[in-house]
Structure 1
Amino acid sequence: MVNFKEDEQLSVLNHSCAHLMAQAIRHLYPQAKFWVGPVVAEGFYYDIDLGDDVIRDEDIPAIEKEMKKVAKSGKKIIRKEISKEEAMEMFKDDEYKLDLISHLEDGNITCYEQGDFTDLCRGPHVDNVKLCRNFKLIKHSGVYWKGDSNNRVLQRIYGVCFPTPEELEEHLKLLEEAKERDHRKIGKDMQLFMVDDLVGRGLPMFLPKGYTIWQELENYIKEKERKAGYLHVMTPCVGTVNLYKTSGHWDHYKENMFPPMEMEGESFVLRPMNCPHHMMIYANRRHSYKDLPMRIGEIAHDFRFEASGTLKGIERGRHFCQNDAHLFVTPEQIKEEFSRVVDMIFSTYKDFNITDYRCVLSLRDPENKVKYHDDDEMWEKAENALREVMNSLGIEYTEEIGEAAFYGPKLDVNVKPAIGNEYTLSTCQLDFCLPAKFQLYYIDSDGEKKTPVVLHRAILGSLDRFMAYILEETKGNLPTWLAPVQVRVMPVKNDDEELLAYAQEVCSLLEEKSVRVELDNRSEKLGYRMREGQIQKVPYLLVLGKNEKNDRTVSYRLHGEAETTVLPLDEFAEKLDQQIKTKSYKKF
């Protein structure tokens, strides 16, 4: 999807359209005062103080109508330079503009005039309001002035503008597609998870069907890890402040952590990551070089105080569960173990049909060392080691400065989701720092104590974000093995006792094969029940009538298809059993 901020032509056009919207709003709401109206990646917005008025959905068409009227007028957009004193006088009754002006340097200030509307702006703008006629207002919300909850709430209205109506129409289609793919909408339709401000923003709760998916993902990755020699552990969701001071997270990460809890003379925090706990597990007993590599894995609950504006369903929350692991290795084992991690990442992506991704070598910013562990020699050693391993494995990657963890460089595997911006799904980090901080060691073959190297790795990343990604990629049409309800059985008539008995027999046979099956014998019409099954993305909808009962068959319809297929009951059950066991993406 287009990035309006990065496209110079679209940026200028959308900035101009923000002023067009402000002018139209001033016509409809003469008391309106305006804060800022920048261009963002998704288009433009303006923050507005309407006094006691509140913009509602039904008000948007009237604003768009007035915008079209202003655009049709063809007023020229004129750039003017005025002194700071003149600007203060021009906007003397507008506390928002006065605040902006007070932060500007002395000298001339630019403003833009279009007919009866003038606003402060650096520009540039298009020459005429008629060039802004291909627009659409997308959404609106309330925001605190300057993002401060102590300030009053302003109205923020978002919009987009394009040079041609065809480009606008194409973009609106993409937005509609994005809306249908949004995991928050899919999660609501499929009854997967919920959030409630009474529980807390950014703290999603998984409903039974969503937790079923979550458990399937957990079982999938744990089985994969067990086969690769991982040992799974369980550690607490809290730790002492001293634990994080030892690891260095307290100095480098505490602004993202929930505040300490003082209990019985100790300070505890909700953990934002799991490596300190795993370091302590390693330190619990003496190790020989023969014990390494030691692979510790955990599906761990973590908590980070993300800014409220960044929260997004289960993709980004304040509570999430990481598919975390820490590999304690000798220096000689780095390449082999790193290679195994990369193989696991790519084989997982193959299993989930993930093809649109790129590898990034995330490095320290040598010009801004404050946020990193202070050891230049360690950083040079770690970055060179990771770069050498990636090159030897033939991994194609780009290098990004300033994206390393505070304790070491890392490989990030970034995915481009169906909607939204690229983000990291999987990671493998090389760490010479934390093992030394925790004074970890092993006895080498020469009888000397040596410090192990640690690989921090997450294959699914967090189960929450991974689920959001898969929901959006598939539009909720999950492969059968992952679907929360795999089969829904619907007798044509719910008052036919013989037919109901056959439907229950079908359910029992499938349940014996561990199929997640539901019986829908409600009094609703069959068409209604079928539509509801489609909305909830059930892979197989079974319709049973008199013919199916007499012939011991099932008629099934695949999600998203109109055709119905008839199979003998036993054959259907066997095929379904194989499809689930093999985790096939293809339905039969």
Structure 2
Amino acid sequence: MLKQRHIVHRLISSTRYSTKIKTPTNAGTAHEVSNKQRIFFTDPVSPGSIFFLPNGTKIFNKLLQFMKLQQQHKYGFQEVVTPLIYRKSLWEQSGHWDNYKDDMFRVMGSDTSKEEYGLKPMNCPGHCVIFKRFDRSYNELPVRLSDFSPLHRNEASGALSGLTRVRKFHQDDGHIFCAPGQVEEEIIKCLKLVDLCYTKIFPLSESLQSAAYSLELSTRPDNFIGDIEIWNHAEDVLKDILMKSGKEWEINEGDGAFYGPKIDIKVSDKSGKSHQIATIQLDFQLPERFDLRYKDRDNTYKRPIMIHRAVFGSLERFLAMLIDRNEGKWPFWLNPRQAMIIPVNTKQAAQVDASRKLLSYLRHEGDPNDDMPVPLNSFHFNVDIDERAEPVGYRIKDALTKDYSYLIIIGDKEVESSKYAVRTRQDRALEHLTSQEIFAKFSDLERRYV
């Protein structure tokens, strides 16, 4: 019995395994990590579209959950769900048909005599339809709409590349309809959310000394729509905001959207390649094309200004940057493999039973045989159990190789005391915690995005 009591500490403290992934490129890292952790894959049956596996979907949903919380409860956005397919006439009204149709997927129904449709490559025209649907007052402004619908762009097959260049993707898309006097404040708020994401929650920079991201002001392209004077004014507004921000920025001549100038936020991967992620765009054109208006305090109708913004940008590309940065060693709150429970001796029924009970407790599973629903806003941790008839050292090694954040080892001593041996993947030091203490610890990590 004495030998059994000390086996957990001896096994964990003596196990040393290197799990470092050595890959030179963003694409190589993403595919290697994905193969090991079963995150995503692509298939020729749908070129440029990602098959997110259960582990990848957990990460994807956590990213969405994070952004929805920030947008709705910190920055005042209201989420909407909009159609994927619109009539050609909408894209003609917005200007996309003349300036973007080669990058769109056209949709044909069974009756070819009817109007052609287009699969949406962006959400802005649909949000203009929502704004125009109702009478608007200056008291309502700014109206901030967010949308996480899938988007499709007809990228050339030779340009497709893993997660970074796809045909089907998701954005944390947002559009702000505001009065002229609100533009500066709204763009500053957008930049603050960018800063929160890329300096605190998702630092993608290789070192603390380098900038977390770079800013570029992309100006009027050759295929612009609208009046040059309005374009010049919009560019001046963005220049003034960037000057006041105190951050370094550069001008990227001629790379604006066809409807307005934009601030592009870029990060570099470990190979030094630059990737655009977030964007903030100022648009005077679509409100004019859709005849958007609001009643001002003097009872006259005014034209709102539209701000397009996405902080993650493409979630698929953002995920590629995260994988490039952490090489599959996810922070606990994002990890699809948060903890592995390992009974020391799988022939000991008490150890296996205690492990299974802890598994159910940490997953916060509901009983399918009762009539009680799983409560809203509850924690459910990604915990697995390894009760294979393999040596415990082998199972510890396997869990570390798979980058579980925590290992929970249960031997006879742990069964007797109801305190379980807990260690991280980085540190072999043990904590002995009750199931309630483990749950509280994990809950705290998720609340703090650690």
Q: TM class, shorter-chain normalised?
A: 0.7 to 0.9
- Deviation, 1:515, is 1.9
- Say which SS state the counterpart of residue 71 (structure 2) adopts: helix
> 1:236 aligned to 83, 95, 113, which one?
83
Matches within 5 A, 1:448-527: 448-512=300-364, 513-527=379-393
Residues 377-406 of structure 1: CA distance to partner in whole angstroms, max 9, x if unpaired? 121111111112222233321111011011
CA shift, 1:329, in A, is: 0.4
Deviation of 1:431 (Å) = 0.2
SS at match of 2:270: coil
Letter in 2 for 1:576: F
**Are 2:261 and 2:282, in contact at CA under 8 Å, matched by a contact in 1?**
yes
Matches within 5 A, 1:72-471: 176-178=23-25, 182-198=29-45, 200-227=46-73, 228-264=75-111, 265-349=114-198, 350-355=200-205, 356-365=212-221, 369=222, 371-419=223-271, 421-471=273-323
Question: Contact 1:430–1:454 at 8 Å: present in 2 too?
Answer: yes
Q: CA RMSD in A?
A: 2.0
Aligned partner letter, 1:352: F
Contact 1:181 1:419 (8 Å CA) reproduced: no
Question: 1:182 Cα shift?
Answer: 1.4
Q: Deviations over 1:161-202 (max 9, x none)?
A: xxxxxxxxxxxxx9844379611221121111121112x111
Amino acid at match of 2:444: Q
Q: Where in structure 2 are there 5+ consecutive unaligned residues?
A: 1-20, 206-211, 365-378
Q: Following the alignment from structure 2 to structure 1, what is the Cα–Cα distance between the partners of residues 22 and 424? A: 27
CA distance in 2, matches of 1:457, 1:262: 33
> Are 1:260 and 1:269, in contact at CA under 8 Å, matched by a contact in 2?
yes
Q: Distance in 1 between matches of 2:62 and 2:191?
A: 22
Shift of residue 551, structure 1, vs aligned partner: 2.7
Alpha-carbon contact 2:422-2:433 (below 8 Å) kept: no
CA offsets, 1:251-295, max 9 Å, x none?
Answer: 111111123424541211211111011110101111011110000
Distance in 2, matches of 1:239 and 1:558, equals 50
Task: Among all aligned residue pairs of Structure 1 and Structure 2, give the percentage whose two residues are the same amino acid.
Answer: 32
Per mean C-alpha deviation after superposition, the further-off stretch among 175-184 and 204-213 is 175-184
Q: CA deviation at 1:482?
A: 0.7
Q: Does 1:567 align with 2:432?
A: yes
Seen in structure 2, the aligned counterparts of structure 1 residues 246 and 486 have a Cα distance that, compared at 3 Å, is same
- Tell me the TM-score normalised to structure 2 length: 0.86
Matched residue type, 2:164: E
Matches within 5 A, 1:21-40: none
**180 and 402 in structure 1: CA distance in 2 versus 1, 3 angstrom threshold:** closer
1:240 shift after superposition: 1.4
Greater length-normalized contact order (CA 8 Å, ≥ 6 residues apart)? 2
Count of residue pairs brought into register by the alignment: 406
Q: CA deviation at 1:567?
A: 1.6
Whether the 8 Å CA contact 2:26–2:324 is kept in 1: the answer is no
- CA-to-aligned-CA distance 1:107-153 (integer Å, 9 cap, x gap): xxxxxxxxxxxxxxxxxxxxxxxxxxxxxxxxxxxxxxxxxxxxxxx
Q: Which runs of 5+ in 1 are unaligned?
A: 1-173
Greater Cα radius of gyration, structure 1 or 2: 1
Shift, 1:558, TM fit: 2.2
Cα distance per residue 1:210-267 (max 9 Å; x no partner): 1111111111000101112111000111111111111111111111112342454121
Aligned residue for 1:514, secondary structure, equals coil
Distance 2:272 2:392 in 1: 37
